[in-house]
Amino acid sequence: MNNGINEFVNMHSEKKYAEIVILEYNFDKIFHYCIPQDLKDRISLGSRVTIPFRGKETIGCVVGFLTRSDVKNLKDIRQITDKKPLLTPQVVRLTKWISNYYLCSWEKTLNYVIPKTRKSWLNKFDIIDISPIKSTRLPEDDKSWDNEIIFSTEEVKERPHLKDIENIIKNRKCKTVLIRGNDFSSRMKIYLSCIRKTLKEGRQAIILAPNESHLSELAGLLEKEFKDNMVIFDEKIDQKAKYQKWIKIRNSQVNIALGMRSSIFVPFDKLGLIIIEREHSSLYKEERSPRYNAREVALKRAELENIPLMLSSETPSVESFWNVHENNFIEVDLNAKRERESLLKKTIIDMTKEKSKKKIISYELQQAISRSLKNKRRVVLFLNKRGFSSFMICSQCGHIPKCPDCNTSLSYHLDIQKRAQLICHNCGKRAKVTDVCAKCGSKEIRPLGMGTQKLESEIRKMFTRAEIRRLDRDSLIRDDDYRQILEEFKKGNTDILIGTQMVLKGVDFNNVDLIGIISADTLLNLPDYRSGEKTFQLLSEVISSFREISFSKEVIIQTFNPEDHCIVALKEQDYNYFYQKEIELRKELDYPPFTHIIKIVILGEDKEAVKQRAEYLISYLESLRKDKESAGFKLLGDVNMVLWKSRNDFKVQFLIKVKDLEKFNQAFKKKYDKMLSKHFDQKNRLTIDVDPLRMI
């Protein structure tokens, strides 16, 4: 579809034919229909329409208009479903981009974006019956807002980059600002100032948060000023309520939308600003089709609508900070050393120097826990069990066997005959398990693995009189368990709380003076090129849990690799050092942001059927190398194909590295539908993930 041509048709020519994507069939095709005379004035881009298809009536979405069509015997559109389209033309174009970029059908993308509706709701929430909100926009000839100050002179003097934000907002430039800061209140002041300015100009704002807890925090602050002018899409919202709020937005009843990743699609007519809080969060990546990343979609929407985008994070994604260094983004650094930070002590424990190599808790951490309990303080022990993948480690020198090609740790596996082997989950390379460390020659090399249950058992043996609770998904049996565990800890009825990432969401750290990070290595050595970044971000979040420091506190990090750049950066809380080392590694090994990665997974109940389809897919990809219109790419996992059992299915995975993603995708999609319908079905499933955040 040529958007430029279609816009010309909309503005200057009669709309004779509509390009329609059928929403009730999984076709990645556009169908042409005639527009009856009585519908020509009412039909628009994004309109849902009732159309005849294969002898039945079905629903489609209008994605373009034509003055002529080469298709013969075209049928008429029967009726328009909504009084006003649920999507704006800009959002329709955005869904087309998502379909092309993330290798997903346009039908699936539109169905994901359009809120679910029932016929009974269409009349009940009739758009025409709702009066629009009174605009706060100044008259067109009033240019007083051009000279209006967003930030005070004192604020700009303290943080000169605020002037850049002010200029971008005033001039409505399509520019991305990365706000880097550990002070949430300072970030919030910037958000509020920019939102006020945007609303005063008669424009609208979208604010995204990664999860419910951060959404609630933002909502509490925004509602104080904008309660009657905003809608909130939280995770508890049902389809009916979502549709109601969508209609309010579509009719300009409200000018602010706050929500999680899917709120990036809300259909504002005059969008003026997008804000993404904690842009580095992996929760902005949708794991279901169309598998988009809300941050990347926001970048594209800001470009399409020519508006500013504000990203913020204490520990930005490597891709975003790379864009700062490439002068694509503007950085505003709000980080400031607080006076009370001297009260926070950060200690790194080198586990290779522990006398007992099999101990989970080091002697120093054990002593620190004893001191805290003696002083009537609380202790939090953090172990991210859910991110664990078994790998080999030498407890003498800390060496971990890695793939020579991918630089990711080799995963420890037992085959059907219970024989141990090491496998690279990226390229499939295998290696033998040896009894001797390749680096130091020690025989102290073994698989490293532990969970919160094992940790709890060890802690109970050490501290028999302490009240100990565990907070992870396995410990939550009843609906009320989560709230009850947090309440008991807050009251002081729990001395030691052991947990995974869940402890970061609601734990009251006021009376906590010790956080113990049991094993930084379980995260650091995931078979994933992002493992260093994920480790630094997650453990930085654990450390920043001590936001308000009124007495001495300590964070103890146990690791077999104290010299790793992530661990060094964590101790010093130095993001710049971490980024510099990480980006050097990425460039050397050709990982994002220097290339794109596409993860392809085939799942099926029958091992041979999965293998056959994998071989066909490999031959299909190899055929693209001969296509002059395709981009060059590197395929990983085809030579040393690994099939492993995942629950009840057999699974095989491939990775594609490609620099020119747009060119590759165009070539890949040429015969993709035919391949999909011929070789894949409900029993043998194919999933494609562009720019994945999880490699396994």
Question: Is the pLDDT assigned to residue 542 strictly greater than 90?
Answer: no
At residue 133, the pLDDT reads 47
Which of the listed ranges 93-107, 402-416, 427-441 does the model predict with the highest average pLDDT?
93-107
What six digits make up the tokens of 15? 């709309």
Omega before 267 cis (within 30°)? no
Tell me if residue 473 falls in helix, strand or coil.
helix
CB 680 within 8 A of CB 626: no
Question: What does the alpha-carbon distance between residue 297 and residue 264 come to, in Å, rounded to a whole number?
Answer: 8
Name residues whose C-beta falls within 8 Å of residue 500's C-beta, 6 or more positions apart in sequence: 382, 383, 384, 385, 386, 452, 471, 472, 473
Domains 3-88+103-114 and 339-388+449-587 agree in fold: no
The confidence score (pLDDT) of residue 98 equals: 98
| Of 100, 124, 1, 111, nearest in space to 60 by CA | 111
Task: Residue 543: name the closest of 363, 387, 351, 341 by CA.
Answer: 341
Does the structure show a pLDDT above 80 at 575?
Answer: yes
Between CA 237 and CA 13 the distance in angstroms is 42
pTM equals 0.87
Helix or strand run (H / E) with residue 483? helix 481-491
| Cα–Cα distance for residue pair 97/107, rounded to 1 Å | 13
Ranking 52-66, 225-239, 384-398, 500-514 by mean pLDDT, the lowest is 384-398
- Please tell me the predicted confidence (pLDDT) of residue 131: 46
pLDDT in tens, 33-50: 999 999 999 999 999 999
| Strand-pair category, 430-432 with 420-423 | antiparallel
Three-state SS string over 22-52 comes to: ECCCCCCCCEEEECCHHHCCCCCCCCEEEEE
Give the pLDDT confidence score for residue 93 in this predicted structure: 97
Q: What distance in Å separates the CA atoms of residue 200 and residue 213, rounded to the nearest whole number? A: 29
Tokens describing residue 533 = 């970044």
- Does residue 626 register a pLDDT over 80? yes
The DSSP H or E segment spanning 531 is: helix 531-543
Superfamily of domain 149-333: P-loop containing nucleotide triphosphate hydrolases (3.40.50.300)
Task: Return the pLDDT at 549.
Answer: 66
Over residues 644-649, the mean pLDDT reads 78
Percent over 70 (pLDDT), the chain:
89
Work out the number of other CB atoms within 10 angstroms of the CB of residue 1. 14
* pLDDT of res. 136: 46
Q: Rank 8-17, 219-228, 472-481 by mean pLDDT and report only the highest.
A: 219-228
The third-level CATH classification (topology) of the domain covering 3-88+103-114 is: GIY-YIG endonuclease (3.40.1440)
Residues 210-251: tens digit of each pLDDT:
999 899 999 999 999 999 999 999 988 999 999 999 999 999
Domain 339-388+449-587 of CATH type 3.30.465.10: no
Q: What is the pLDDT of residue 144?
A: 44
Per-residue pLDDT of 189-204, as tens digits, reads: 999 999 999 999 999 9
Q: How would you list the strands of the sheet with 48-53, edge to edge?
A: 31-34, 17-22, 56-66, 48-53, 79-80
Q: Residue ranges per domain, the chain? A: 3-88+103-114, 149-333, 339-388+449-587, 390-448, 596-690
- The reported pLDDT for the residue numbered 500 is 83
Cβ neighbours around 459 below 10 Å, total = 23
Classify burial at 255, counting beta carbons within 10 Å of its beta carbon; exposed 0-12, middle 13-18, buried 19 or more: buried
Residue with tokens 């410990």: 475
N- to C-terminal Cα distance for the chain?
35
- Judged against a pLDDT cut of 70, whether residue 132 lies above it is answered with no
pLDDT at 4 over 60: no
| Beta bridge partner(s), residue 423 | 411, 430
The more confidently predicted of residues 581 and 213 is 581
Can you give the pLDDT at residue 13?
53
Mean pLDDT of all residues in 432-449: 82
From the CB of residue 177, how many other CB atoms can be counted at a distance below 10 Å?
22
**CA–CA distance from 81 to each of 28, 36, 388, 429 (Å)?**
22, 15, 49, 54
Q: Which backbone phi and psi does 126 adopt, to 5 degrees?
A: -60, 125
Q: How confident is the model at residue 427 (pLDDT cuts 50, 70, 90)?
A: confident
> In the predicted model, is pLDDT for residue 61 greater than 70?
yes
Those residues with Cβ within 8 angstroms of residue 319's Cβ, 6 or more apart along the chain or in another chain: 592, 593
Alpha-carbon torsion, ordered 191, 194, 197, 200, to 10 deg = -50
Q: How far apart are CA 244 and CA 229, in angstroms?
A: 15
pLDDT band at 424 (very low <50, low <70, confident <90, very high): confident
How far apart CA 292 and CA 287 sit, in angstroms, is 8
At residue 332, φ and ψ (nearest 5 deg) are -120, 110
**Looking at residues 487-500, what average pLDDT do you find?**
90
Token representation of residue 117: 């509706």
In DSSP notation, 75-133 reads PBP-EESSSS-SS-HHHHHHHHHHHHHTT--HHHHHHHHSPP--HHHHHHT-GGGSPPP
- Mean pLDDT of all residues in 419-427: 76
Q: How confident is the model at residue 329 (pLDDT cuts 50, 70, 90)?
A: very high
Per-position DSSP letters for 284-310, written without gaps between them: GB-SSTT--BHHHHHHHHHHHHT--EE
**Contact indicator for 115, 266 with CB cutoff of 8 Å:** no
Average pLDDT score over the chain: 86
Q: For residue range 63-116, list pLDDT tens digits in order.
A: 999 999 999 999 999 999 988 899 999 999 999 999 999 999 999 999 999 998
Q: Which CATH class is domain 596-690?
A: alpha beta
Distance CA 323, CA 331 (A): 10
Q: What is the pLDDT of residue 679?
A: 86
- Residue 24 has which token pair? 């009730």
Please give the pLDDT value at position 153: 79
